[in-house]
Amino acid sequence: MSQEDKQALAASERYEDIRDDILALLMEFEGCRLTAYKCSAGVNTIGWGHTAGVKEGDSISQEEADRMLAEDARAYYEDMRKLVTVPLTRGMAAALTSFCYNLGASYCKTCSLFKELNKGNYAVAAGKFGDYVYAGGVKLAGLVKRRAKEKEMFERDGRPSS
């Protein structure tokens, strides 16, 4: 691995350096609801897309929603880093964290975007964002916008040198 690759990888491993990018992406596309609801995939959700332990009828404060978002974002970032075996730029790490947050890390483990990325096929991986715009078999305009923004962020800083 070249020195530039090591620097890119190290930069993406500092969550605090990209925290604001991740949170901005999530807040833009998740929206916040303080009462539990079923998301487009039929999962009980609350706050900024939080799903763990949510039951119908639950409600939270804005402060709780923001705290959950911060905790969830960090956890999904860490999950994403465990799945990726190639160097990343900061933009790539932020985009992939948003992608994992939306689809779940267990799904990302086997999806074609991560498979191509881990082969070092950065351009092919970037092109895969647009494949993940369906929920329940229906193409959703919100997911089309989200994936376009994630792809833009993924490509924002260029590619780690090889």
CA-to-CA separations, 134 to 29, 40, 103, in angstroms, rounded: 15, 9, 11
Cite the active site residues. 30, 39
pLDDT at 62 over 60: yes
Closest CA to 156 of 16, 24, 30, 3: 24
pLDDT at 3 over 80: no
pLDDT of residue 15: 84
pLDDT at 9 over 70: no
Are the beta carbons of 159 and 122 closer than 8 angstroms?
yes
